[in-house]
Amino acid sequence: MAKPESTHQVSTSPDVSLDELQLAVRNHSLPLEALRYPITPIGMHYLLIHFDIPRVDPSQWRLVVGGHVRAPLTLTLDDVKRRPAVTLAVTLECAGNGRANLSPRPVSQPWLFEAVGTAEWTGTPLRPLLEAVGALDGAAHVVFTGLDRGVQGGIEQHYERSLTMAEATREEVFLAYAINGQPLPPQHGFPLRLVVPGWYGMTHVKWLRSITVVTRPFRGYQQEPAYHVTSTWDELGEPVTRMLPRSLMVPPGIPEFLPRTRQLALGRCILEGQAWSGWGRIVRVEVSTDGGNAWADAELGGDGGEFAWQSWRHVWDADQAGQFELCCRATDSAGNVQPLSAPWNAHGVCNNQVQRIKVVVAHELPPAQAPADGLAN
Amino acid sequence: MAKPESTHQVSTSPDVSLDELQLAVRNHSLPLEALRYPITPIGMHYLLIHFDIPRVDPSQWRLVVGGHVRAPLTLTLDDVKRRPAVTLAVTLECAGNGRANLSPRPVSQPWLFEAVGTAEWTGTPLRPLLEAVGALDGAAHVVFTGLDRGVQGGIEQHYERSLTMAEATREEVFLAYAINGQPLPPQHGFPLRLVVPGWYGMTHVKWLRSITVVTRPFRGYQQEPAYHVTSTWDELGEPVTRMLPRSLMVPPGIPEFLPRTRQLALGRCILEGQAWSGWGRIVRVEVSTDGGNAWADAELGGDGGEFAWQSWRHVWDADQAGQFELCCRATDSAGNVQPLSAPWNAHGVCNNQVQRIKVVVAHELPPAQAPADGLAN
């Protein structure tokens, strides 16, 4: 099929253009030290927003559930909240996480390693709602349409994505109106968003306005050509679905403002972080302090639940001064292992290569600023 | 005085390096469409964090108020909350806002135009607390020290800044423990931060651990050489203090994902935004649709209070197809006017040059995606 023109730009420079910077200052990733929180506080969870954040008047808002169904429904926000409620901790990661580490670099949101977060979402399960409207014979897919609107690939569109009926009716799929016990803030999809535990972030359509049952595969822009793994520009490739395993580490020591190199004094250091996969539980996290040559098993926390990241920790005896490159890698119960280097693809998606953190271990930290005692200067 | 080595790096490329990108994905600016909210929802307010976000146990946390005083105090968070409370809407802007538009570009957090936000902060006034500890003769400055720690300019430091006693004891200065009616989230300085209405963001020290009265000027790194306006690398220059006037506009129409060019159909268009200054009330906002040649007065909202941004609006009859460059500029009651282009300085601070938004007005928007009706593809 013909690709819209803007789908496949790449840059051979590691430096990021002004256009990409415009995205980078709007969207944001998880500050890595926020991996210390099992549930990410609001404002530290990653955000990727294709167009503008809609400002929705909840009294005017309606959700239309229809299409190839027996009894279409139009629901107010109160109607949605009166339905059975579930609360679930879910880790969400952007499919483009890691993109800016690629060479050549697909031109889009320039994520490094940290486009992730774990929130406690509250909402109502989707399956009973689909049962209530009653899919007719031949119903095969469900399209989720957001209120957010813009132009991508030369096409004017609302953001929309679909799931097969089998995926949409899985027990864990729900429509969320709260995060961490609070109404969704605008940037997380107020008043209602889709949550599909285990899947990359593009699936969790925000600012829902309609859910439409259809008979044929949906081929809107965000479904295809976007969010596919393809190494050649002539092929559509494979659709992005569930999150590959990934582990991230809280950078130890203290940072330099710029660059973000870490400084650490000699001694015992606790390395800690989180790991997750959309394909199964994390069964192993390994840590390397020499850039990925030698690996040691980290201790798994056993926390996190079925769809949330699991904590890990490892004691590192940093008893030698010098420069170190710390890495961690996760293995899930399906046997997927994080690669040291992931195969390149044109959209820069599903890249779960291991994080690398440069640390300088020294006998002492750099010269300290004199304390503010009134005599110091 | 000798400058630490990392103070004055500049880049002649408009493209942003990987080091700067590491800052850009951590910190984030206000999505411009969030200018529609008089009070910025948590998670959309700008953030600039020099080092790591500390994770503070509130039961262990103490604020030490001491130095050149008669009766030093150590306060728990409950002690702070039992003191008289104030709530005030305050606009905060990063002193480095606009930096990435400079050429050559000072290498630091690469802000475009949007490093701002307005929150409703709740806390306790500082002056009565300083009166309670009783400054001794010769007390002249007050140093505010945060728990955040790192290396900048080759110096290991806690983030700390000072105010003169006269500035610190102004009626509107307070210590905030809540934002928008909620306890501070970690990224905004939990459990306590300084708020100095009217001043650029570097002043509002987060994660406060001590307040120290001193007799001589404080010369820690963040006080000097950082946050000074200087055009030559041999001079310290003038310290950054209050916010210069600035106005920002909600980009009209719909965005392209990349680049962020706006698309607009012919017709009447409401241009709207916010404007603020630390030097007085905003008395005028002007709008240009031709890149800053012709200007028309916008209507001021008269809202916002003494220290919060004020809304403005202007009706634009977009009755011709073509490309337009929209600008807005603010004037404050002290007579300061936003410049079309601000003088370059080495730190890239206090740059309040007018925002420019590229808009394509067309008879119709680009081809629309077919609706998800099951028959469309």
Residue that finishes a domain, picked among B214, B239, B264? B239
Mark whether B199 and B253 lie in a shared domain: no
**Contact between B199 and B242 (Cβ < 8 Å):** yes
Q: Assess if residue A374 is contained within a domain.
A: no
The pLDDT of residue B369 = 86
Q: Which helix (H) or strand (E) holds A312?
A: strand A310-318
Residue B166, pLDDT above cutoff 70: yes
Q: Which chain B residues are Cβ-neighbours of A373 within 8 angstroms? A: 67, 212, 214
Does a structural domain hold residue A127?
Answer: yes
Residue-level pLDDT at A5? 45
Final residue in a domain of this structure, among A217, A239, A261: A239
Q: Which two tokens stand for residue B88?
A: 């005030």
Looking at the fold, whether A156 and A272 belong to one and the same domain comes out as: no
Tokens of B377: 């593809």
Kindly state the average pLDDT of the residues B153-180: 97
In this predicted structure, the answer to whether residue B340 has a pLDDT above a threshold of 60 is: yes
* Final residue of a structural domain among B216, B239, B262: B239
Residue B173 domain-assigned (yes or no): yes
Q: Kindly state whether residues B181 and B250 are assigned to the same domain.
A: no
**Is B254 a residue whose pLDDT tops 60?**
yes
3-state percent helix, strand, coil for chain A, nearest multiple of 5 = 10, 40, 50
Q: Is B87 helix (H, G, I), strand (E, B) or coil?
A: strand
Query: Complex ipTM, two decimals?
Result: 0.95
Inter-chain residue contact B17 with A17, CB threshold 8 Å: no
Q: Domain holding B258: CATH number?
A: 2.60.40.650
Q: In this structure, is residue A372 part of a structural domain?
A: no
pLDDT at B374: 40
- Contact between B229 and B350 (Cβ < 8 Å): yes
**Average pLDDT, rounded, for chain A:** 95
**pLDDT tens track, chain A, 377 positions:** 334 444 568 999 989 999 999 999 999 999 999 999 999 999 999 999 999 999 999 999 999 999 999 999 999 999 999 999 999 999 999 999 999 999 999 999 999 999 999 999 999 999 999 999 999 999 999 999 999 999 999 999 999 999 999 999 999 999 999 999 999 999 999 999 999 999 999 999 999 999 999 999 999 999 999 999 999 878 999 999 999 999 999 999 999 999 999 999 999 999 999 999 999 999 999 999 999 999 999 999 999 999 999 999 999 999 999 999 999 999 999 999 999 998 999 999 999 999 999 999 999 888 888 766 444 43
Does residue B1 register a pLDDT over 90? no
For chain B, the domain total comes to 2
pLDDT, one tens digit per residue, over B285-305 is 999 999 999 999 999 999 999
- B14 domain-assigned: yes
pLDDT digits (tens, 9 = 90+) for A106-153: 999 999 999 999 999 999 999 999 999 999 999 999 999 999 999 999
| Same domain for B189 and B64 | yes
Contact B14 A16 (CB under 8 A): no
* pLDDT at position B308 over 50: yes
Cβ distance A374 to B215 less than 8 Å, yes or no, reads yes
d(CA B377, CA B366): 19
Distance from CA of B314 to the nearest CA of A (A): 19
Asked whether the beta carbons of residue B162 and residue A33 sit closer than 8 angstroms, the reply is: no
User: Token pair 């799931």 is at which residue?
Assistant: A163
B345 in the same domain as B234 = no
What average pLDDT score do residues B307-334 get?
98
Exposed, middle or buried by CB within 10 Å (0-12, 13-18, 19+), for A192? Answer: buried
Sheet holding A267-276, edge to edge: A246-249, A267-276, A310-318, A299-300
Interface membership of A256 toward B (CB under 8 Å): yes
Residue A35 domain flag: yes
Instruction: Tell me the nearest-neighbour CA distance from A202 into chain B, angstroms.
Output: 14
CA–CA separation, B341 and B325 (whole Å)? 15
Q: Which of A3, A6, A48, A4 is nearest to A159 (CA)?
A: A48
| Closest chain B residue by Cα to residue A67 | B373
Question: What does the mean pLDDT of chain B come to?
Answer: 95
Query: Is residue B137, in this structure, part of any structural domain at all?
Result: yes
Listed in sequence order, the residues at least 6 apart from B371 whose beta carbon sits closer than 8 Å to its beta carbon are none
- List the structure tokens of B41: 């929802």
Q: Supply A32's token pair.
A: 């890595």
- Only one residue has tokens 């904590």, namely A311
Q: What pLDDT, on the 0 to 100 scale, is given for residue B375?
A: 41
Phi and psi at residue A292, in whole multiples of 5°? 105, 15
Both B128 and B187 in one domain: the answer is yes
In chain A, positions 175-234, which contact chain B (CB-CB < 8 Å)? 185-188, 210, 212-221
pLDDT at B371: 64
User: pTM for this one?
Assistant: 0.96
Residues 6+ apart with CB under 8 A from A135: A68, A69, A70, A165, A213
Q: A157, B369: Cβ pair inside 8 Å?
A: yes
Nearest beta carbon to residue A149 from set B217, B254, B367: B254
Domain assignment present for B268: yes
- What is the residue-wise DSSP string for B139-191? --EEEEEEEEEEEETTEEEEEEEEEEHHHHTSTT-EEEEEETTEEPPGGGTTT
Rounded Cα distance between B279 and B245, Å, is: 8
Chain A: closest CA distance from residue B92 (Å): 17
Q: Specify whether A24 is located in the same domain as A138.
A: yes
b/e code A20-54 from CB counts within 10 Å (16+ = b): bbbbbbbbbbbbbbbbeebebbbbbbbbbbbbbbb
Name chain A contacts of B157, Cβ cutoff 8 Å: 368-369
Q: Is B47 on the interface with A (CB under 8 A)?
A: yes
Instruction: Identify the CATH number of the domain in which residue B159 sits.
Output: 3.90.420.10
Is the domain of B175 the same as that of B259?
no
Q: Are residues A53 and A154 in the same domain?
A: yes
Distance CA(B63)–CA(A277), nearest Å, equals: 41
Q: Are residues B95 and B193 in the same domain?
A: yes
Q: Is the pLDDT of residue B220 over 60?
A: yes
Query: Taking the CB of residue A13, how many other CB atoms lie within 10 A of it?
Result: 12
A131 and A235 part of one domain: yes
Tokens 């009755």 belong to which residue?
A: B319
What is the crossing angle of helices B18-26 and A18-26, to 10°?
30
Whole-number pLDDT of residue B2? 39
Compute the distance between CA of residue A345 and CA of residue A350 in angstroms, rounded to an integer.
Answer: 9
User: Are residues B221 and B296 both part of a single domain?
Assistant: no
In sequence order, which residues have a C-beta less than 8 Å from that of residue A207 and are 6 or more positions away? A54, A56, A146, A147, A148, A159, A189, A190, A192, A193
Range of the domain at A86: 5-239
